Structure 1
């Protein structure tokens, strides 16, 4: 029997290694940016074409490499960071993987130009599928420029798994932000298809966070800074009012390396306890510095998941640091009472309580009864209260009021078949500006107005994508909306589907869009706010992979446009809402499975009261 075990050729071994290291263009971006940081660069440029599928290029002004180092850097397990096994546990640099450049060269066509400061001329190397095609001297400034072209050109199956360009660009932007935020003293730029997306001048950490996440955080961040002999925690957290429905603006760095940690995130959420809603997420960019020997960063191929030697100490320290900062800046939870704003305009509130009024009240027998000791049970002169029944007897309806009642009684087709014959109500009642009560012969229905409207809108959008596009109302004065680069990449991906749903948006510059038209029921003047809230909700739904992009968009728009709980409705609006709800194919639940109404039987109510 011949021997069957054999060594893999280098190019195949490199492609297998690349499977762990280079999963998509963003993976290569991360490796190349980290190498540029380690090279001591003060300026780093990232240039991508076709979301990195055609070109990813990183240009830096770091220390560069010699001719021998340039050639060696593409060998498997080649690194300048590790010389013995102990070095693995004391790593302070960013890119130390060893097979990163070899993996990149195995799945793309690479061109490297590099030059050291003390050498008169640089080195140019061209590699194709792990094979060096060309090596020659080149004139250039100190630093390195590495370009990888046609990613996965020799592994078509892997290329087929890449997402759309806007989706892949979003991942690239995420990786770029994670490196750029950790090093605010370095200039970074990102150019996509010839258009500059980011231009980040060097400055303070706060300036870098505002440059990346948007100017709305400028005056709404709290500084965190705690130091001990064991570890330091510093950075910024957003004030409670900036909390969002998604985790997007949350960054943890350990020794300047971005990490994902549900454990530490829980610590921060605990610090915000009772200040924000359970379904809200605060913004934070927190940096933990501690001895590298206390951290194991080799537990995951991307180095984004790590293990601490003593997790409990880290957890307690982070939570304490954030709590201390929030308390220091007088950000404490407040009680939120639902007070009707109309109360503030009543005479009793707005007009002064004069001496004349005070003596008039004090002389009444009712006042005396409740202020004399042991007299609360005794009410004298009951004639003063003889008109109490008038509070509970409906006044005679005017002509207009009667017409409104007649219109409502005509709307008998809004209930499911099981209720239509039993419906007896000529009045709809709104409770707490959130629920609508509808009487039936067998009891009553309690409808949640926001849930009901979500179902109505969702089915309207469903009809639109199935061939009945929603009409767009052109804006008389088109509004521009400026987004963060990450959000702009998301919106670019959604533009065709949004047009079907009645939104006409056109790109205008790098991260700016012009809102040319919206659906007719979007209030003029609120278009910008509608787009921003829709994007926030879309990102919230994006954590669920089982739904398509279009499905997430429809759910996001339904949630964003629905009448919110706490909104007062007229009887006509309530009637229309209920008519539309029971015209839906699934009137009983929202797109996310929440009930739109619940039924209370009269028989059950009688039992509750012993009848």
Structure 2
């Protein structure tokens, strides 16, 4: 029997390694930008086309490479960062494994242009699928320019698994933002399809955060700074009131390397205990400087996970540093980006001579045993009469209890049968609703009499169900109603949300939104769905829609359109505490029972509860 174990060809081995290192276009962006930073560049440009599928180009002004290094950098396990095993525990560079360039060259068409400052001519190398097609000297600028074209051209299965351009572009923006945050002292720019999305000049970390996420982040940041013998922590955390329901603005950097660490994230959340709204995540950009010998970064192919020598100590230091900063600094925003909040921002207390001593007034003629005299001292008016007149003055409050008394006093009530849509045999088909006799309980629930008792309807849940099915129908028929805004409103988004908005734009326009792009990351709102009403904050509605889409994108059972319909229904629905007239309650009940699923809210909870006369008799022990 012949031998069956053979060595893999280098091209095949590199393609296998590429499956771990280069998972999507953003992975290649990460590796190329890390190499540019390690090369000592202070100016890095990223150019992307077709969400990185057609072109990923990184241009830097770093040290460049010699002819030999330019050829050798595409060999597997070729690196300038380490020489012996001990170097693995003293690494402060981004790349060191020597697999990135070989992996990228195995699955794409790569063109490398590089020149060192001391060389008169540079080197140009073209590689296709690990095979060198051409190498020649050429006059090129100092530094390195790498163009990766037709990513996954020879691995069609991997290319077919890539998401839409909007999704892949969001991943690229995420990687770009991480690099830019880790190195605020460097210049970064990002061009997509010929448009410049980011132009980040060197500056302080606070400036970099504001340039990446928007000017409104200036008032959201609280500085964190702590120095111990174990590590140093510095950066910014967000104020609790600006926390979001979605992740995505949480950044940990260990020795300027972005890492994902649930354990350290738990330390931050613990610091926000009792001051953070439920199910929300705060913004934080935190840098941890620690001795490289105390950590191990060689535990994951993408180098986003790290092992620590003393995790508990790091947890305690991080938690206490964030907690102290939240309680130490003022919450007033600063106009100067470089100026931190300080004691000078506190409100100046009033002088002592302006403080008024509280006084107490009382009625000396008040007699609690005199039933004919009211507390205000007005003679001739009984307490019951005053109470009745007070109720009459509140004309805007429906007299629901009067309606209840009328129901109990009437012997016969004019009734109208309501049958749910599509199922005449449903249990509600036998219910006889009274169109004229509805009333509210605490402006939250609608009570309606039926043959066998009464039903209790959650008005907000019912209205959400009505609007949800209405919006789904509009999306299916591509027809929605819109109302023009008197004055157009602009909404400024970060780059990731702007890319998401571009993906959702056709469906939003179908729902009734009139939106148009304006500038790099801004949209103008000319109109909104008619169901949202007049007194609505258009910017808040758009931001809430984007947050809901990001929050539910991991739920595979929910489609993008259903997600939008649910979010818009929650925004447009009547809220608990809204007083309704009799006609409005009748309309809600009619539309609810015309829905396909009247019994269930969009959250999977009941919209109504039925109480029978049998149950009432049992409650009063009359059986």
The TM-score normalised by the length of structure 2 is 0.84
| Match of residue 555 from structure 1 | 566
| Match of residue 107 from structure 1 | 107
Unmatched 5+ stretches in structure 1? 333-351, 367-379
Distance 2:579 2:283 in 1: 32
Deviations 1:377-436 (A, max 9, x none): xxx3344486438847986999x989x989x987763887167237698232142x5444
Deviations 1:13-55 (A, max 9, x none): 1111101111111110111111111111111100000000100
SS at match of 2:190: strand
Matched, 1:584 2:580: no
Match for residue 593 of structure 1 among 589, 600, 604? 604
Distance 1:435 1:331 in 2: 39
| Match of residue 483 from structure 2 | 473
Distance 2:384 2:417 in 1: 35
- CA separation of 1:487/1:427 partners in 2, compared to 1, >3 Å: closer, same or farther? same
| Match of residue 52 from structure 1 | 52
Distance 1:61 1:270 in 2: 43
Q: CA offset at residue 455 of structure 1? A: 1.7
Matched, 1:381 2:377: no
Q: 1:414–1:581: 8 Å Cα contact kept in structure 2? A: no
| Match of residue 271 from structure 1 | 271
Distance 1:292 1:571 in 2: 71
Q: 1:39–1:63: 8 Å Cα contact kept in structure 2? A: yes
- CA separation of 1:318/1:565 partners in 2, compared to 1, >3 Å: closer, same or farther? farther
| Match of residue 362 from structure 1 | 364
Matches within 5 A, 1:187-198: 187-198=187-198
Distance 1:562 1:123 in 2: 64
Matches within 5 A, 1:91-490: 91-329=91-329, 358=361, 361-366=363-368, 380-384=369-373, 387-388=383-384, 391=387, 413=418, 417=428, 420-421=431-432, 426-431=437-442, 433-438=443-448, 444-467=454-477, 469-475=479-485, 477-490=487-500
Matched, 1:495 2:505: yes
Q: 2:599–2:606: 8 Å Cα contact kept in structure 1? A: yes
Q: CA offset at residue 172 of structure 1? A: 0.5
Distance 2:470 2:387 in 1: 43
Q: 1:109–1:128: 8 Å Cα contact kept in structure 2? A: yes
SS at match of 1:203: coil
Deviations 1:508-539 (A, max 9, x none): 33222233433212335633332122111211
Q: CA offset at residue 180 of structure 1? A: 0.8
Deviations 1:134-164 (A, max 9, x none): 1111212221110000111111111111111
Deviations 1:261-320 (A, max 9, x none): 222222211211221221122111111111122222233222222222222222221111
Q: 1:465–1:500: 8 Å Cα contact kept in structure 2? A: yes
Matched, 1:535 2:537: no
Q: 1:424–1:439: 8 Å Cα contact kept in structure 2? A: no
Distance 1:178 1:567 in 2: 45
Q: CA offset at residue 477 of structure 1? A: 4.2
| Match of residue 63 from structure 1 | 63
The TM-score normalised by the length of structure 1 is 0.86
Deviations 1:335-377 (A, max 9, x none): xxxxxxxxxxxxxxxxx9x99x945x232112xxxxxxxxxxx
CA RMSD in angstroms, aligned pairs only: 3.3
Q: Does 422-431 or 549-558 show the bigger shift? A: 422-431
Matches within 5 A, 1:21-40: 21-40=21-40
Matches within 5 A, 1:63-82: 63-82=63-82
Distance 1:249 1:568 in 2: 39
Q: CA offset at residue 473 of structure 1? A: 3.3
Deviations 1:424-449 (A, max 9, x none): 98232142x54444455666544333
Q: Does 559-568 or 204-213 show the bigger shift? A: 559-568
Q: CA offset at residue 588 of structure 1? A: 2.5
| Match of residue 373 from structure 1 | none
SS at match of 1:75: coil
| Match of residue 341 from structure 1 | none
